[in-house]
Amino acid sequence: MEPLSIWQDVYQVGGYYISNFNDCSIYLLNGGKELALIDSGVGTSFEKVVKNIEILGFSPENIKYVIATHAHIDHIGGLSKFKHMFNSIIIAHTLDTDKIEKGVDVGAEYYGVNYDPCTVDIKIDTEHHTLHVGKHELKLIHIPGHTPGSIACYVDVKGKRVLFGQDIHGPYSLPGSNPEKARISLKKLIELESDILCEGHFGVYKPKHKVKNYIESWLAKI
């Protein structure tokens, strides 16, 4: 499949059918002269993700930020490549930074790949953080549960709130997961009343009531 346009300035450039079956869903925010990627995939599909960005008419050299939503290999495997090739600034929550930088317990062995540890440039240690990506303000929220340092992002574009919720589905039974904190985090995401949800593996949901229903369905299972 080709990369997908989700909403104005919001695209999917990686994922199961788009880049590699081991990849999480990888999203791109176009801020004009600056681009931001939400997650980087397992790493082996780096060239395909870059090609997808070019297919959309954007220059990978303009990827200013890559946001690691949490320290699992299918989300962080490509970080070092984007950092080295395009000098992208890597962002993660401080509670997941140690794994990203040391390559410990990121799950690479389950995917049969090697992980190249990557230095995190901006370490988020607050509940909320605002990132300016060209003309857009991307809001980062700490949502512990799936991992201690899981984060979600959202942006308001042309009257629509787009939520990059990533692994809303969990699982919440892995080492380091916390179901109690996950319940609180998912309630936070519901309160955002987003119009479009870009999930970490299971696609894009819209309009607003379907976003709410999707998050509530996983909340009920925890």
Minimal CA–CA distance to 70: which of 113, 102, 38?
A: 38
What is the pLDDT of the chain when averaged over all its residues?
Answer: 97
Q: Grade residue 16 by pLDDT with cuts at 50, 70 and 90.
A: very high
8 Å CB contact between 26 and 49: yes
Could you give the percent of the chain with pLDDT greater than 70? 100
Could you give the percent of the chain with pLDDT greater than 90? 97
Q: How high is the pLDDT of residue 148?
A: 98
For residues 146-150, give the mean pLDDT: 98
Question: What's the CATH class of domain 4-219?
Answer: alpha beta
8 Å CB contact between 185 and 192: no
* Residue tagged 């992002």 (tokens): 153
Which parts of the chain fold into alpha helices (H)? 46-55, 73-76, 79-86, 94-102, 108-111, 179-191, 208-219
CA–CA gap between residue 66 and residue 68 (Å, rounded):
6
Phi, psi at residue 129, to the nearest 5°?
A: -150, 135
For residues 17-29, give the mean pLDDT: 96
SS3 7: strand
CA–CA gap between residue 46 and residue 52 (Å, rounded):
10
160-195 residue pLDDT tens: 999 999 899 999 999 899 999 999 999 999 999 999
For residues 99-116, give the mean pLDDT: 95
pTM over 0.95? The answer is: yes
Neighbours of 86 (CB within 10 A): 18
Phi, psi at residue 115, to the nearest 5°?
A: -110, 130
SS3 106: coil
Asked if pLDDT for residue 1 goes beyond 90, the answer is: no
Residue 76: half-sphere exposure toward Cβ, Cα within 13 Å: 31
71-85 residue pLDDT tens: 999 999 999 999 999
